[in-house]
Structure 1
Amino acid sequence: MKHIVLTLLLILSSCKSEPKTETVGDKEIDPTVHAMWHSFTESYLEFKKEELPDSWYFHNTKEDADRLATLTLNGKKTAMTSGLHTWYKEANADLPTVGTKHIVTDFEGKARAIIKITAVDTIPFNKLSKEGAAMDMGSNVEPLKKWKKAHWDFFSSVMAEKGERPTEDMVIVFEKFERIWP
């Protein structure tokens, strides 16, 4: 199960960009990530001593990653589903923390926005509201239907690796965030 959690985290947090100047573990960081963080901390000196936040892109395709980064930058995407609650338990990992900052990138790893987690909820898959789905999808056009299909398909494929199947009442971790830069 740790493999599944690591796979999910890599999908959510990997950057694929050129040129690279620094690596953290096996992850290469685009120079725009450092530049964005520097600009932010120069404008908000109270964060100057904070370490560079994790940088990552949404989803696992260029089209989706770039689209979701743009929706975040435009303030339309204000939430994300970060996985199943059981994955955190099995990995003995803490749930995301309110106040944590992340740098959202496009698929190539170019920094697009800095977000801060404002709320973390654990809710059954079938209890996510239309409003929550709209915040995650960044759209008001059939958001719940689209959210359910996209996430059901993802959870199905990941869980199949362990011979498991998703259920309507599986508990998800749902994070709300605000864009704080630019």
Structure 2
Amino acid sequence: MENRSAKHMWGDFLEAHPEFASTKDPDTIQFFENENDADRHSQLALNRTKTATSFSLLGIQHRKESLPKIGSFLIIVDGRGNAQCVVRILSSALKPWFSITEEYSRRDGFDNLTQWKNTYWDYFSKQLSPFGRTPQESMIVICVSFEKVYG
């Protein structure tokens, strides 16, 4: 783990929960690319208001990343890379873009589905652009639910 703040938080978590000492080091994630959105959404996760996040399946495939695994941990960082909390993945579902619900958008930290769609359309556009791809209404979204376990 390269992020010092995240490494420190993970060490503190393991001290409090030694039963997870053999667990693989978690990935560190920042919600969105700009500092304001990252700060806002990391605070929502810290306050347990945000209990979900979303990924583009196509983006993960092009970057050759692994799919989020149920039971694994993530360290959420703010817009400056400071660790805010540790979360554990509860579920991960593949859903077409057009099937995302208002309820899910609220769990992902948004006031409504329109706001969620506008934000993620822009975010996925930036992520897919280097691969010559663009978001589509039929694209698959990885809908991840999590719970804050530390921080």
- Structure 1: tracts of 5 or more residues without a match: 1-23
Q: Distance in 2 between matches of 1:153 and 1:112?
A: 25
The alignment-based identity, stated in percent, is: 30
Higher gyration radius (CA): 1
**In the TM superposition, what is the alpha-carbon distance from 1:48 to its structure 2 partner?**
2.0
Is 2:32–2:123's contact at 8 Å kept on the other side of the alignment?
no
**In the TM superposition, what is the alpha-carbon distance from 1:87 to its structure 2 partner?**
3.6
Q: What one-letter code is carried by the residue in structure 2 that aligns with 1:29? A: N
Q: Distance in 2 between matches of 1:175 and 1:135?
A: 10
* Coordinate RMSD, CA, aligned: 2.0
SS in 2 for 1:102: strand
Confirm or deny that 1:56 pairs with 2:25: no
**In the TM superposition, what is the alpha-carbon distance from 1:100 to its structure 2 partner?**
1.1
Alignment of 1:24-173 (within 5 A): 28-30=2-4, 32-83=5-56, 85-90=57-62, 93-136=65-108, 138-139=109-110, 141=111, 143-173=112-142
- Give the structure, 1 or 2, with the largest relative contact order (CA under 8 Å, sep 6 or more): 2
- Structure 2: tracts of 5 or more residues without a match: none
**In the TM superposition, what is the alpha-carbon distance from 1:181 to its structure 2 partner?**
0.5
**In the TM superposition, what is the alpha-carbon distance from 1:56 to its structure 2 partner?**
2.6
SS in 2 for 1:56: strand
After TM superposition, the score normalised by the length of structure 1 is 0.74
Q: Which residue is equivalent to 2:145? A: 176
**In the TM superposition, what is the alpha-carbon distance from 1:174 to its structure 2 partner?**
1.1
**In the TM superposition, what is the alpha-carbon distance from 1:161 to its structure 2 partner?**
4.4
Residue 74 to residue 119, structure 1, CA distance change in 2 (3 Å): same
